[in-house]
């Protein structure tokens, strides 16, 4: 048999292309031959993100290996200006960067990254005095400022954002210190923006020109937004306010209060968005308050609210073509899970919690003929009932057996996920 090093490099590169990142890193450590093959085959590392922390432990060989692999995405934890300068010296071609727990008042060192397209700044321990560091980054297409304190005025924010005319995605989650009276001031210069995630923190009715210029006339220009996510939402709207959003295809609402007010504003949203395909609701009114307003165009639905079995029956009638469902009711879920195969036969993906769901109801999911992926959101267990503090964050033996039985009954046609792999560069607060 031919020994491993004698195989052509092309053969090994093909083999390595099937490996996940963790296995590629393990293969690098087995021998110098594999390390050289992997480091010099930079297409194998396309999409790879490296997490950096405690910089004194990184030597020149480490940085050289990252440069050889053409690493284009970096997550910098608890970094400072000198650390970012070192990243810029070795990896000036970065296209994606996340600064986690950034401890400085600004990030002027970003100007060396001329190819940077995606920037995330999250969990700042120091308030951002201004956003002037964004001005040299006119090439950005995705910007996320999450869990940050902004001590700059709203005018400074608007001035910086108005220069980023290539943005297609903008996320701004703040602590409530920022007051922007109208989103139209943000959206007007961002003519390419498709995705917006914004912390609202307002209790008043939105002005008619909150999203776009008023008065809105029939046939007038609509915003290019297709995906809108609103955090801490508790604002009244009218159909006139929402008319500029007629192209919206995805809406996510995270309500400010779990105890709703007297009026369910979602009714207005749902009747004003004719193209809506995806809806995600967290908190607020029970599903019964707006279930009769769900559009028939819905293909994806996330419900983390109070749900009754009769509500799901109405959902199946209002959205008969639903393909993706994420169900986290505030009450018991077993009585809901057993209804899914009959009510939503077209489901392709399903996300549920296993706790308090009977074995029979769990296994009944094999009746979903089109189901491709099932994600179990609470895949942990307490091995000792007398010690509730002892938690093991992996599926219990009982759940593993249930999953095995379900896969056997579906001839392994259903992929069961028990731990989600999140994008390391994305915001994790929702």
Is residue 352 situated within a structural domain? Answer: yes
Is residue 301 situated within a structural domain? Answer: no
Least confident of 237-241, 363-367, 381-385: 381-385
pLDDT tens track for 92-147: 999 999 999 887 767 888 999 999 999 999 887 777 878 888 999 999 999 999 98
Predicted local distance difference test score (pLDDT) of residue 1: 42
Omega before residue 215 within 30° of 0, cis: yes
Predicted local distance difference test score (pLDDT) of residue 259: 67
| 26/39 Cα distance (integer angstroms) | 13
Is residue 353 situated within a structural domain? Answer: yes
Predicted local distance difference test score (pLDDT) of residue 129: 79
- Which residues, listed in sequence order, are joined to residue 252 by a DSSP beta bridge? 229, 280
Is residue 143 situated within a structural domain? Answer: no
Is residue 15 situated within a structural domain? Answer: no
| 267/269 Cα distance (integer angstroms) | 6
The pTM of the full predicted model, rounded to 2 decimals, is: 0.88
Are the CB atoms for 409 and 366 separated by under 8 Å? Answer: yes
Predicted local distance difference test score (pLDDT) of residue 2: 47
Residue 323 pLDDT level (bands cut at 50, 70, 90): very high
pLDDT mean over 63-71? 90
- Residue 352: domain span: 344-419
Is residue 363 situated within a structural domain? Answer: yes
pLDDT mean over 39-65? 87
Is residue 221's pLDDT more than 80?
no
| 75/379 Cα distance (integer angstroms) | 27
| 257/242 Cα distance (integer angstroms) | 22
pLDDT tens track for 262-299: 888 899 999 999 999 999 999 999 999 999 999 999 99
Predicted local distance difference test score (pLDDT) of residue 203: 67
Is residue 201's pLDDT more than 80?
no
| 305/282 Cα distance (integer angstroms) | 6
Are the CB atoms for 238 and 271 separated by under 8 Å? Answer: no
Element (H, E) at 11: helix 9-16
Predicted local distance difference test score (pLDDT) of residue 181: 80
Is residue 236's pLDDT more than 90?
no
Average pLDDT, the chain: 88
Is residue 77 situated within a structural domain? Answer: no
Number of domains in the chain: 1
Is residue 70's pLDDT more than 60?
yes
Are the CB atoms for 328 and 337 separated by under 8 Å? Answer: no
Is residue 409 situated within a structural domain? Answer: yes
Strands 373-376 and 324-327: unpaired
- Distance (Å) of CA 165 to CA 57, 134, 191, 198: 39, 12, 7, 18
Q: At a CB cut-off of 8 Å and minimum separation 6, what does 233 contact? A: 200, 253, 254, 255, 256
């Amino acid at each position: 048999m031919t020994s491993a090093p004698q195989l052509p490099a092309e053969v090994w590169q093909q083999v390595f292309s099937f490996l996940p990142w963790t296995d590629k890193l393990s293969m690098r450590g087995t021998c110098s031959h594999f390390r050289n093959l992997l480091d010099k085959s930079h297409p194998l590392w396309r999409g790879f993100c490296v997490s950096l922390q405690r910089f004194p432990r990184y030597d020149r060989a480490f940085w050289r290996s990252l440069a050889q692999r053409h690493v284009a995405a970096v997550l910098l934890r608890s970094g400072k200006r000198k650390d970012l300068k070192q990243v810029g010296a070795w990896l000036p071609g970065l296209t994606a960067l996340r600064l986690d727990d950034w401890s400085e008042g600004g990030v002027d060192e970003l100007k060396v990254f001329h190819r940077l397209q995606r920037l995330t700044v999250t969990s700042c321990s120091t308030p951002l005095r201004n956003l002037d560091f964004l001005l040299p980054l006119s090439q950005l297409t995705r910007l996320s400022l999450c869990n940050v304190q902004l001590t700059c005025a709203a005018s400074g924010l608007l001035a910086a954002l108005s220069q980023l005319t290539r943005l297609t995605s903008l996320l701004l989650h703040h602590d409530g210190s920022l007051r922007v009276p109208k989103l139209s001031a943000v959206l007007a210069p961002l003519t390419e923006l498709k995705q917006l995630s914004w912390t609202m923190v307002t209790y008043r009715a939105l002005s008619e020109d909150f999203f776009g210029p008023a008065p809105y006339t029939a046939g007038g220009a609509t915003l290019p937004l297709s995906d809108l996510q609103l955090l801490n939402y508790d604002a009244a709207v009218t159909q006139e306010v929402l008319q500029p959003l007629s192209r919206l295809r995805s809406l996510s609402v995270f309500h400010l209060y779990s105890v709703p007010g007297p009026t369910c504003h979602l009714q207005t949203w749902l009747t004003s968005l004719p193209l809506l395909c995806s809806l995600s609701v967290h908190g607020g009114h029970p599903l019964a308050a707006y279930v009769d307003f769900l559009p028939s165009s819905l293909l994806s639905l996330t419900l983390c609210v109070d749900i009754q079995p009769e509500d799901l029956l109405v959902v199946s009638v209002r959205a008969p073509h639903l393909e993706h469902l994420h169900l986290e009711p505030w009450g018991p879920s077993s009585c809901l899970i057993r209804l899914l195969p009959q009510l939503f036969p077209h489901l392709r993906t399903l996300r549920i919690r296993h706790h308090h769901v009977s074995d029979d109801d769990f296994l009944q999911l094999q009746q979903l003929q089109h189901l491709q992926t099932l994600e179990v959101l609470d895949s942990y267990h307490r091995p000792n009932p007398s010690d509730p503090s002892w938690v093991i964050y992996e599926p219990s033996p009982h759940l593993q057996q249930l999953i095995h039985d379900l896969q056997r009954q579906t001839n392994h046609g259903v992929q069961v996920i028990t731990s989600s792999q999140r994008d390391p560069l994305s915001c994790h607060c929702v």
